[in-house]
């Protein structure tokens, strides 16, 4: 008995099952792949520096410890008040004074107060290069600054929805000591540390996502900061997080007159603030991250990683200073410590100097990791180090109360480094005890621990050395002995320092906590899903018995594997980190997924469809699949991923040539060459625009979307590119697009839809022109909200985009209603009209979310889809595949890349005055995936057109539609499962998190999107 006589699964159900399989496979793979770090709810405490001196045996030599305690020198009294100023996106070269720099670099030489203070107060001011850990998003950086912990990749997605920190942090301990704490600025701090900033009368936070607004947050801070500093109000800790510089970078880029104005404003703030800093007050000025050449952040380019850290007080902060132009002993020692850190972490000072155009070598200013701030401020402010800190104390700031004797001073240095080392040592052991992570087993940490053991051995020997004890008691010793003791203390400091830095490097490498078993389960499900889709291209027949036997046997086999996991695998592979994240429900779900995928191999939809007799058509399927496979294989090469935009241009133009050749064989008329040639010409012209990846410099020469500007020059040649662009937009909006709309729908829809479409086009044009005008203005004053121009901008940026959203939704609703109410004989024609209306409506909506040039390109997509509908049946697969890759081409030419830095945060505010997390995230996703969404809508248009045409050589059989939809699924499924295999193999690759992981996450979204698109198109057709 045939299965089709008893069970007839609809094609829609088959695609839904394939979508679920793809989603489950990606879920298990990402569950095993994405970085996770378990937080421990334990608090740091004060350490006796000489407890457990024989830490190798977790024992304390009481006599040795007492000897060392007797010679110790306490630190200077902690500061009574602290001011922390965080200037968001304060790139390090914004701080320096540079000369002989060519070109208009408005961000240079705008903060002279810092350099002047370093010159006039060399012992009470310090400047460091402050290196962030990627991802360089604000929430992760603030969290890292206060906890001293390393970030995880998946935290980047939490930047839209900040949650409270669930581990120990510096502010908790400051809250125990300081009672009067004030906060002003970015509300990220309040969301992360709600238990600290719990008083409304002392917390003045502002929305952190209004990127167009350069002034409101900063002005709100100043309105509370100056009354606090200059009034009679008691305060102990004041934190101010300024956002204007960061917002200016996102909106205009770093080299813009507005950036000069914002930095000049910050310079004035610091000058005025320093007048309130006395001997008992510490001023900390820092950036949370840097800024890319485009003005964004989130990735790990040098420009994004390097920010600045400046400390100032009325009293001396450091002994590491120059005397008479020569560095002191402590300055040389600090340089040795920093050099050791640079060697261990592999810092490339030449690359930093070249990228940030330093006037001298970058090593002139020490590079400190941002996680080093926690132990350093804990030392200066007299509070315990956070329990989960991995940072190392900054040596220049070690300053004992009695610094006349070098040996006693060095002993003080050793004490602080050992306290730091003890805290990290305890954290590592607690983490292993609570998580059983194999990477933190004592045997794995043995190499790093040897440095700490060596330092302890040195101090144990010194404690029993009578000469050292005599020197600590103030007795005179010979110079040779003093030099030998000094060398041993220095070696102890460097050994503790090596332990701390090796731990940072080690944790950075192994904290991915990859679950290879979980990743493998995901890959198996992805492969089965893809193979099932390929098999269903041919839809073989099957009997009900075959389906039942196959399904039951598959389910039993996988359940056997589940039992095997809880026996052999649990006791053997778990020690290697395999299947740690797979729970019982995961295994049962995997069993059902494998069973469903296996059953798909026995299903058929309807009667088996024979291949067409046309030779070209017969070979189209294998050629198309080979093309998709070859392109997917490039995802395993970092070079191909970096230059994917160029590769996609080659693929699309090649497909146009293939289309042209096929057209000549099937139609001898020359006009058949026009659609492929015009499409290739459009691809070449649009390829001039885009956004460069960091790795592509200096070989990238795109016309960046943000470069359009009306400017202030009266030279018409300088404004010709922008004026030409505006003219093209006007012609599209006023004449070409409405005419194309009417021609394609042929009057079968109501005139109301056309009217709404025209209205949306005008709004998009107005919105784009206003964006160009605003980007060309160099105003630095906060706009008057009651002025006519401010009201006009609010209408154009906020209210009119909502009209476009409503028009798009209403157009779809009207068209769907008319299609449902139409005669059954005209159903297919109604589906064609619905597809075109969806394409036109969404092209306008998505164009409004792009930058100027991107908006013009997106508006023109219906032209290209119209060209692709012109062809014979034998070229259908070529045109469909070309349309698929045109989606990726649009992704690049609208200034997107598979990097965190290129995310279009600006789109979150189109139609919204205030940040709405869910709507904002949705708009950012729509802006990013605009090209792919239009490509999928183009598939619906193309298939609907081919099935409704009356031309015999063009008409597509309805039975060919399922196979085309399977191609839509496979075009993304094949790259997805291959990319997952590449990521599994390259999980320890140096470029994993910078190149392969972001590209895989994008591919995962596209895979799910293509499956959903296939379900939607099937329901539409």
pLDDT digits (tens, 9 = 90+) for 333-368: 999 999 999 999 988 888 788 778 776 666 788 999
Q: How far apart are the C-alpha atoms of 216 and 223, rounded to whole Å?
A: 10
Is 237 strand, coil or helix? strand
CB 302 within 8 A of CB 353: no
- The confidence band for 1020, taking pLDDT boundaries of 50, 70 and 90, is confident
Is 28 strand, coil or helix? helix
- CA 449 to each of CA 53, 431, 637: distance values in angstroms, whole numbers, following the listed order: 14, 15, 36
| Structure-token pair, residue 1012 | 């959903």
Closest CA to 772 of 733, 843, 723, 701: 723
User: Which pLDDT score, from 0 to 100, does residue 96 have?
Assistant: 85
What would the mean pLDDT of 237-256 be, rounded to a whole number? 90
Residues with Cβ within 8 Å of 788's Cβ and at least 6 positions away in sequence, in order, are none
**Is the per-residue pLDDT at 927 higher than 90?**
yes
Q: What angle do CA 506, 510, 512 make, to 5 degrees?
A: 140
CB 280 within 8 A of CB 90: no
Q: How far apart are the C-alpha atoms of 95 and 920, rounded to whole Å?
A: 33
Which of 957 and 832 is assigned the larger pLDDT?
Answer: 832
Is 85 strand, coil or helix? strand
Which of 716 and 1013 is assigned the larger pLDDT?
Answer: 1013
User: Which pLDDT score, from 0 to 100, does residue 454 have?
Assistant: 94
What would the mean pLDDT of 704-710 be, rounded to a whole number? 57
Q: How far apart are the C-alpha atoms of 757 and 814, rounded to whole Å?
A: 13
**Is the per-residue pLDDT at 567 higher than 80?**
no
- The confidence band for 156, taking pLDDT boundaries of 50, 70 and 90, is very low
- Give the chain's mean pLDDT: 83
Q: How far apart are the C-alpha atoms of 838 and 844, rounded to whole Å?
A: 10
The top-scoring range by mean pLDDT among 716-730, 760-774, 901-915, 998-1012 is 998-1012
Give how far the C-alpha of residue 497 lies from the chain's centroid of Cα atoms, to the nearest Å: 31
Q: How far apart are the C-alpha atoms of 996 and 113, rounded to whole Å?
A: 42
**Is the per-residue pLDDT at 747 higher than 60?**
no
- Domain boundaries along the sequence of the chain: 78-399, 705-778+790-877+898-956
| Structure-token pair, residue 442 | 């004592």
Q: Which residues pair with 2 in a beta bridge?
A: 543
**Is the per-residue pLDDT at 1018 higher than 90?**
no
User: Which pLDDT score, from 0 to 100, does residue 363 have?
Assistant: 72
Q: What 8-state DSSP symbol labels residue 238?
A: E
- The confidence band for 818, taking pLDDT boundaries of 50, 70 and 90, is low
User: Which pLDDT score, from 0 to 100, does residue 821 have?
Assistant: 61
Helix (H) or strand (E) holding 18: helix 11-33
- The confidence band for 274, taking pLDDT boundaries of 50, 70 and 90, is very high
User: Which pLDDT score, from 0 to 100, does residue 609 have?
Assistant: 42
**Is the per-residue pLDDT at 402 higher than 80?**
yes
Fold of 78-399: Alkaline Phosphatase, subunit A (3.40.720)
Burial profile 982-1016: b = 16 or more Cβ within 10 angstroms, e = fewer? bbbebbeeeebbbbbbbbbbbbbbbbbbbbbbbbb
Is 610 strand, coil or helix? coil
Closest CA to 108 of 85, 91, 88: 91
What would the mean pLDDT of 382-400 be, rounded to a whole number? 95
Is 131 strand, coil or helix? strand
pLDDT of 171-205, one tens digit each?
A: 999 999 998 999 999 888 998 999 999 899 999 99
Q: What angle do CA 844, 849, 852 make, to 5 degrees?
A: 90
Q: How far apart are the C-alpha atoms of 996 and 987, rounded to whole Å?
A: 9
| Structure-token pair, residue 747 | 């009057």
User: Which pLDDT score, from 0 to 100, does residue 615 have?
Assistant: 42
Residues in the chain: 1021
Residue with tokens 């998580």: 435
User: Which pLDDT score, from 0 to 100, does residue 512 have?
Assistant: 55
**Is the per-residue pLDDT at 614 higher than 50?**
no
**Is the per-residue pLDDT at 544 higher than 50?**
no
What percent of the chain lies above the pLDDT cut of 90? 42
- The confidence band for 209, taking pLDDT boundaries of 50, 70 and 90, is low
Task: Quickly count: other Cβ atoms within 10 Å of residue 69's Cβ.
Answer: 13
Closest CA to 591 of 497, 673, 519, 524: 524
Q: How far apart are the C-alpha atoms of 920 and 905, rounded to whole Å?
A: 8
What would the mean pLDDT of 200-218 be, rounded to a whole number? 82
The top-scoring range by mean pLDDT among 86-100, 169-183, 808-822 is 169-183
pLDDT of 41-58, one tens digit each?
A: 899 999 999 988 888 877
CB 137 within 8 A of CB 297: yes
- The confidence band for 823, taking pLDDT boundaries of 50, 70 and 90, is very low
User: Which pLDDT score, from 0 to 100, does residue 777 have?
Assistant: 61
| Structure-token pair, residue 544 | 């009900």
The dihedral built from the CA positions of residue 596, 597, 599 and 600, taken in this order, carries a sign that is: positive
User: Which pLDDT score, from 0 to 100, does residue 772 have?
Assistant: 77
Q: How far apart are the C-alpha atoms of 219 and 6, rounded to whole Å?
A: 72
Give how far the C-alpha of residue 582 lies from the chain's centroid of Cα atoms, to the nearest Å: 27
- CA 722 to each of CA 99, 257, 768, 874: distance values in angstroms, whole numbers, following the listed order: 33, 19, 11, 42
Lowest mean pLDDT across 14-23, 290-299, 554-563, 941-950: 554-563
Lowest mean pLDDT across 112-121, 537-546, 747-756: 537-546
The dihedral built from the CA positions of residue 762, 768, 771 and 777, taken in this order, carries a sign that is: negative
Helix (H) or strand (E) holding 125: strand 125-131
User: Which pLDDT score, from 0 to 100, does residue 8 have?
Assistant: 44
| Phi-psi map region of 422: left, alpha, beta (phi>0 left; psi -120 to 50 alpha) | alpha
CB 61 within 8 A of CB 54: yes
pLDDT of 432-471, one tens digit each?
A: 888 777 778 888 899 899 999 999 999 999 988 889 888 8
User: Which pLDDT score, from 0 to 100, does residue 889 have?
Assistant: 96
**Is the per-residue pLDDT at 426 higher than 90?**
yes
pLDDT of 757-775, one tens digit each?
A: 889 988 988 888 887 777 6
User: Which pLDDT score, from 0 to 100, does residue 158 have?
Assistant: 42
Q: How far apart are the C-alpha atoms of 659 and 676, rounded to whole Å?
A: 6
Lowest mean pLDDT across 16-30, 340-354, 367-381, 905-919: 905-919
- Our CA dihedral for 160, 166, 167, 172, rounded to 10 degrees, sits at 90
User: Which pLDDT score, from 0 to 100, does residue 335 have?
Assistant: 93
């Amino acid at each position: 008995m045939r299965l089709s006589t008893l069970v007839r699964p609809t094609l829609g159900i088959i695609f839904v099952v394939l979508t679920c399989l793809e989603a489950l496979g990606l879920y298990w793979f990402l569950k095993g792949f994405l970085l996770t770090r378990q937080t421990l709810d334990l608090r740091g405490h004060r350490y006796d520096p000489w407890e457990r001196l024989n830490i190798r045996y977790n024992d304390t030599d009481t006599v040795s410890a007492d000897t060392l305690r007797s010679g110790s020198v306490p630190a200077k009294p902690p500061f009574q008040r602290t001011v922390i100023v965080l200037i968001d996106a304060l790139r390090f070269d914004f701080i320096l004074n540079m000369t002989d720099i060519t070109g208009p670099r408005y961000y240079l030489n705008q903060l002279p107060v810092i350099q002047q203070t370093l010159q006039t107060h060399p012992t009470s001011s310090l400047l460091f290069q402050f290196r962030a850990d990627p991802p360089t998003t604000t929430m992760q950086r603030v969290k890292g600054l206060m906890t001293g912990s390393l970030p995880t990749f998946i935290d980047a997605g939490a930047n839209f929805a900040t949650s409270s920190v669930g581990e120990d942090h510096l502010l908790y301990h400051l809250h125990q000591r300081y009672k009067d704490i004030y906060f002003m600025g970015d509300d990220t701090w309040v969301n992360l540390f709600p238990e600290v900033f719990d008083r409304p009368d002392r917390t003045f936070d502002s929305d952190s996502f209004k990127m167009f607004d350069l002034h409101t947050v900063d002005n709100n801070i100043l309105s509370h900061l100056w009354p606090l500093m200059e009034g009679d109000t008691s305060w102990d800790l004041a934190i101010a997080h300024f956002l204007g510089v960061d917002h200016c970078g996102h909106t205009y880029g770093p080299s813009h007159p507005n950036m000069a104005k914002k930095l000049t404003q910050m310079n004035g703030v610091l000058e005025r603030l320093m007048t309130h800093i006395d001997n008992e007050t510490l001023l900390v000025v820092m950036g949370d991250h840097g800024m890319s050449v485009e003005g964004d952040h989130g990735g790990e380019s040098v420009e994004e990683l390097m920010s600045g850290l400046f400390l100032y007080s009325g009293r001396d902060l450091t002994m590491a200073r120059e005397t008479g132009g020569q560095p002191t002993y402590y300055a040389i020692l600090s340089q040795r410590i920093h050099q050791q850190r640079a060697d261990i972490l592999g810092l490339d000072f030449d690359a930093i100097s070249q990228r940030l155009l330093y006037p001298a070598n970058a090593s002139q200013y020490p590079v400190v990791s941002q996680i080093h701030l926690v132990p350093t401020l804990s030392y200066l402010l007299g509070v315990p180090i956070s329990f989960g800190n991995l940072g190392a104390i900054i040596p220049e700031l070690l300053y004992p109360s009695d610094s006349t004797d070098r040996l006693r001073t060095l002993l003080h240095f050793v004490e602080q480094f050992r306290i730091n080392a003890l805290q990290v040592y305890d954290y590592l052991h607690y983490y292993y005890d609570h998580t059983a992570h194999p990477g933190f087993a004592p045997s794995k940490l043995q190499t790093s621990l040897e440095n700490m053991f060596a330092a302890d051995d040195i101090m144990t020997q010194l404690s029993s050395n009578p000469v050292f004890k005599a020197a600590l008691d103030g007795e005179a010793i010979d110079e040779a002995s003093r030099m030998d003791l000094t060398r041993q203390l220095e070696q102890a400091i460097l050994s503790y320092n090596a332990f701390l830095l090796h731990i940072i490097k080690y944790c950075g490498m192994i904290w991915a906590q990859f679950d290879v078993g979980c990743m493998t389960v995901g890959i198996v499900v992805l492969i089965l899903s893809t193979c099932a889709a390929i098999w269903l291209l041919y839809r073989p027949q099957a009997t009900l018995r075959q389906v039942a036997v196959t399904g039951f046997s598959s389910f039993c086999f996988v359940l056997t594997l589940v039992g095997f996991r809880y026996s052999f695998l649990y006791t053997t592979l778990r020690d290697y980190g395999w299947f740690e994240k797979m729970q019982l429900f995961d295994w049962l779900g995997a069993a059902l997924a494998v069973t469903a995928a296996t059953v798909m191999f026995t299903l058929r939809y309807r009667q088996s469809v024979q291949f067409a007799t046309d030779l070209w058509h017969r070979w189209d399927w294998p050629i198309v699949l080979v093309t998709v496979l070859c392109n997917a294989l490039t995802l395993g090469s970092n070079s191909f991923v970096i230059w994917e935009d160029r590769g996609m241009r080659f693929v699309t133009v090649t497909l146009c040539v293939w289309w042209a050749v096929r057209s000549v064989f099937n139609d001898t008329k020359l006009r058949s060459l026009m659609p492929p040639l015009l499409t290739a010409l459009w691809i070449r012209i649009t390829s001039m625009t885009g956004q460069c990846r960091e790795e592509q410099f200096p070989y990238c020469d795109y016309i960046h979307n943000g470069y359009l500007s009306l400017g202030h020059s009266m030279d018409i040649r300088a404004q010709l590119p922008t004026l030409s662009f505006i003219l093209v937009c006007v012609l599209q909006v006023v004449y070409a697009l409405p005419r194309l709309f009417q021609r394609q729908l042929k009057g079968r829809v109501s005139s109301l839809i056309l009217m709404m479409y025209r209205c949306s086009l005008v709004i998009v044009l107005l919105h784009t022109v206003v964006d160009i005008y605003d980007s060309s203005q160099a105003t630095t004053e906060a706009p008057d909200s009651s002025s006519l121009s401010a009201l006009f901008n609010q209408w154009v940026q906020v209210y009119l985009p909502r009209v476009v959203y409503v028009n798009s939704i209403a157009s779809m609703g009207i068209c769907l209603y008319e299609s449902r109410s139409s005669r059954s004989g005209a159903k297919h024609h109604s589906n064609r009209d619905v597809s075109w209306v969806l394409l036109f409506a969404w092209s306008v909506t998505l164009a409004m979310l792009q930058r100027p040039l991107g908006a013009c390109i997106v508006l023109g997509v219906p032209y290209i889809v119209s060209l692709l509908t012109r062809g014979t049946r034998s070229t259908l697969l070529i045109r469909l595949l070309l349309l698929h890759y045109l989606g990726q081409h649009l992704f690049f030419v609208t200034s997107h890349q598979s990097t965190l830095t290129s995310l279009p945060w600006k789109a979150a505010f189109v139609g919204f005055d205030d940040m709405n997390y869910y709507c904002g995230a949705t708009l950012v996703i729509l802006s990013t995936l605009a090209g792919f969404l239009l490509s999928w809508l183009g598939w619906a248009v193309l298939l609907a057109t081919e099935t409704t045409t009356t031309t015999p050589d063009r008409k597509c059989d309805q039975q060919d539609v399922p196979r085309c939809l399977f191609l839509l699924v496979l075009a993304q499924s094949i790259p997805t499962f291959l990319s997952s295999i590449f990521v599994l193999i390259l999980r320890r690759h140096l470029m994993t998190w910078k190149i392969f992981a972001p590209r895989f996450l994008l591919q995962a979204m596209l895979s799910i999107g293509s499956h959903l698109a296939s379900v939607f198109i099937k329901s539409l057709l």
